[in-house]
């Protein structure tokens, strides 16, 4: 029997990065849809709502018996979820075909899902009055993967090359085009200490920002990929954050762990999502190709007072992502004059990036920019269709609840709690209190977290380790009998 999962990076099976299923893996076909559009409301509860209520019969038993098919379905459903969350359709002119640019695509992941499943057709199920052209773009795509899917209005195309070259050679309409990048990995320098992949992505990222296109990115983990990508967008590219990073309710099901680092190094396809559109040139940095020293200085800079507000009302300030409620209670934000939601810069994507910057004062370009900005700014605020996972902080405090992961062994002998603290540069003000079943973590004025532990732990064996570079605290816990 042929193996369905390949973890060896040197193998030649059909797997890619966080999508490691070989060509021998067979994913079940989704039930044929008839009649009305798939309901949108169940998406608020993620996979539970989608599997239970978005098909004629519940698919929850499928997920119970073999959740691996969610690894493939995560790709189109992440796109559906994010475009619904951001009300992207409000900017799409009636009757126009919508173009989806899947950047950094590979034949082993995104294209394989297209070729061997009917999962990409789910896009049209949630947008029954639209047709979609999906472009798989990247140096590793196959030009033979193209065409339509049966019973849907989704058509695939392939372009072998960079995103920048695609934008330069195609007539792209800002109003009807969405960019999405899955598990691109350009933020992984946080863990690897290498910038090779980021340098290969930077020209395309500059072009995406300059294009003014809505661009969605999904990350395989937060401690490296998401944190690194967010730093690139905010400290180098000057991107406007349409949606600040958040866990994705339509992430893949399979966790991958590095050998010897099971409790600290992990990945899961599409675990976290964020979105950008356009950029702020006053925050954008110019880099000489290969200047690692300058790049590292920008990415490692101390957290500043940059204040961003996304389209669902969340705030980014001093290294923290705050909910509406937390922002309302933050004294520092009350004292600081809040800037309006980032303006979205539209541009002619068929021009060179430098030409776009030089032509910013041209009257026709300014008129085009104004027209598109007005179209976006008249949108009604979109309430977040996400579970209320962020706890509100006590009135009058500035303390936020940090993101964390708790991973336990199957025998309840050991577990690791990882707390992500982008605003923390040292541990001198940190307070950590662990009872047998509750852990409390406090940094006065910055963070406050209380976690109910799933089983009793031995305080004497607790080993906290803080990484200043990654800005995370890893706490190793063990049971009294371990």
Same domain for 410 and 335?
A: no
Tell me what pLDDT residue 82 has: 97
Q: How many CA atoms lie within 13 Å of 305's alpha carbon, on the beta-carbon side?
A: 7
Give the three-class secondary structure for 473: strand
Same domain for 106 and 197?
A: yes
Same domain for 115 and 50?
A: yes
Domain presence at residue 122? yes
Within 10 angstroms of residue 291's Cβ, the number of other Cβ atoms is: 13
Q: For the chain, how many structural domains are there in total?
A: 2
Domain presence at residue 337? yes
Same domain for 420 and 361?
A: no
Same domain for 302 and 445?
A: no
Alpha-carbon distance of 215 to 235, in angstroms, equals 17
Domain presence at residue 295? yes
Tell me what pLDDT residue 381 has: 32
Same domain for 366 and 409?
A: no
**Which CATH number goes with the domain that contains 290?**
3.40.50
> Whole-model pTM above 0.85?
no
Alpha-carbon distance of 157 to 144, in angstroms, equals 9
Tell me what pLDDT residue 24 has: 67
Give the three-class secondary structure for 208: helix
> Is the separation of the CB atoms in 407 and 416 below 8 Å?
yes
Rounded to 10 degrees, the C-alpha dihedral 170/173/176/180 comes to 50
Q: Token digits for 210?
A: 């300059």
Alpha-carbon distance of 216 to 209, in angstroms, equals 12
Quickly tell me which residue has 């063990």 as its tokens: 478
Same domain for 329 and 411?
A: no
Domain presence at residue 24? no
Tens-digit pLDDT string for the chain (482 aa): 344 444 444 344 334 455 556 566 778 889 988 777 899 999 999 999 999 999 999 999 998 888 888 989 999 999 999 999 999 999 999 999 999 999 999 988 899 899 889 999 999 999 999 999 999 999 999 998 777 765 679 999 999 999 999 999 999 999 999 999 999 999 988 777 889 999 999 999 999 999 999 999 999 887 778 889 999 999 999 999 999 999 999 998 875 655 555 444 567 899 999 999 999 999 999 999 899 999 999 998 877 778 899 998 898 887 778 888 878 777 777 766 544 444 343 344 444 444 444 444 443 333 333 223 333 332 233 333 333 333 333 334 457 888 888 777 767 788 888 898 888 877 777 888 888 778 889 888 888 888 888 888 887 778 788 888 778 888 888 888 76
Give the phi and the psi of residue 208 in degrees, each rounded to 5. -65, -45
Tell me what pLDDT residue 344 has: 40
Alpha-carbon distance of 216 to 237, in angstroms, equals 15
Same domain for 329 and 472?
A: no
Same domain for 125 and 183?
A: yes
Same domain for 449 and 369?
A: no
Alpha-carbon distance of 74 to 459, in angstroms, equals 39
> Is the separation of the CB atoms in 447 and 401 below 8 Å?
yes
Residue 431, domain extent: 404-478
Domain presence at residue 86? yes
Same domain for 352 and 408?
A: no
User: Which uninterrupted H or E stretch holds 256?
Assistant: strand 256-257
Domain presence at residue 100? yes
Tell me what pLDDT residue 67 has: 80
Within 10 angstroms of residue 26's Cβ, the number of other Cβ atoms is: 11
> Is the separation of the CB atoms in 403 and 423 below 8 Å?
no
Same domain for 321 and 460?
A: no
Tell me what pLDDT residue 266 has: 62
Domain presence at residue 389? no
Domain presence at residue 33? no
Residue that terminates a domain, selected from 362, 377, 392: 377
**Which CATH number goes with the domain that contains 425?**
2.60.40.790
Tell me what pLDDT residue 306 has: 83
**How many residues make up the chain in this entry?**
482
Rounded to 10 degrees, the C-alpha dihedral 415/421/422/423 comes to -170
């Amino acid at each position: 029997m042929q193996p369905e999962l390949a973890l060896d990076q040197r193998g030649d099976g059909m797997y890619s990065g966080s999508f490691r299923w070989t060509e021998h893996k067979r994913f079940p076909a989704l039930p044929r849809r008839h009649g009305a559009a798939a309901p949108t409301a169940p998406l608020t509860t993620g996979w539970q709502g989608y599997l239970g209520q978005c098909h004629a019969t519940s698919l929850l038993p499928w997920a119970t018996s073999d959740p691996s098919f969610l690894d493939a379905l995560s790709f189109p459903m992440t796109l559906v979820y994010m475009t619904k969350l951001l009300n992207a359709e409000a900017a799409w002119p009636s009757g126009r075909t919508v173009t989806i640019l899947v950047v950094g695509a590979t034949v082993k992941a995104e294209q394989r899902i297209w070729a061997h499943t009917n999962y990409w057709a789910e896009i049209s199920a949630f947008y029954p009055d639209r047709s979609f052209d999906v472009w798989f773009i990247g140096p590793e795509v196959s030009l033979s993967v193209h065409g339509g899917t049966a019973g849907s209005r989704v058509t695939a195309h392939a372009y072998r090359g960079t995103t920048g070259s695609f934008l330069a050679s195609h007539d792209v309409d800002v109003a009807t085009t969405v960019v999405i990048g899955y598990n691109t990995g350009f933020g992984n320098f946080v863990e690897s200490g290498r910038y090779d992949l980021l340098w290969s992505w930077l020209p395309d990222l500059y072009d995406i920002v300059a294009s003014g296109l809505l661009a969605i990115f999904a990350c395989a983990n937060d401690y490296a990929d998401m944190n690194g990508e967010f730093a690139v967008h905010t400290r180098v590219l000057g991107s406007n954050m349409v949606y600040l990073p958040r866990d994705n309710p339509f992430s893949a099901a399979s966790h991958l762990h590095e050998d010897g680092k099971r409790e600290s190094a992990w990945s899961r396809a599409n675990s976290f999502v964020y979105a950008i559109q356009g950029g702020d040139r006053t925050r954008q940095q110019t880099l000489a190709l290969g200047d690692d020293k300058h790049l590292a200085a920008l990415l490692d800079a101390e957290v500043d007072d940059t204040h961003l507000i996304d389209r669902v009302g969340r705030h980014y300030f001093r290294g923290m992502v705050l909910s509406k409620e937390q922002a309302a209670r933050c004294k520092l934000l009350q004292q600081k004059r809040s800037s309006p939601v980032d303006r979205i810069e539209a541009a002619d994507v068929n021009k060179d990036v430098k030409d776009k910057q030089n032509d910013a004062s041209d009257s026709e370009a300014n008129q085009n920019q104004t027209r598109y900005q007005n179209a976006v700014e008249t949108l009604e605020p979109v309430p977040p269709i996400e579970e209320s996972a962020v706890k509100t902080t006590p009135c009058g405090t500035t303390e936020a609840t940090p993101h964390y992961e708790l991973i336990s062994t199957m025998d309840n002998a050991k577990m690791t709690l990882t707390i992500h603290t982008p605003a923390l540069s040292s541990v001198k003000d940190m307070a950590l209190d662990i009872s047998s079943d509750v852990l409390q973590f406090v940094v006065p004025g910055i963070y406050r977290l209380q976690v109910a532990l799933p089983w009793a732990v031995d305080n004497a064996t607790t080993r906290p380790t803080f990484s200043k570079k990654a800005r995370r605290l890893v706490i190793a816990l063990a049971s009294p009998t371990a």
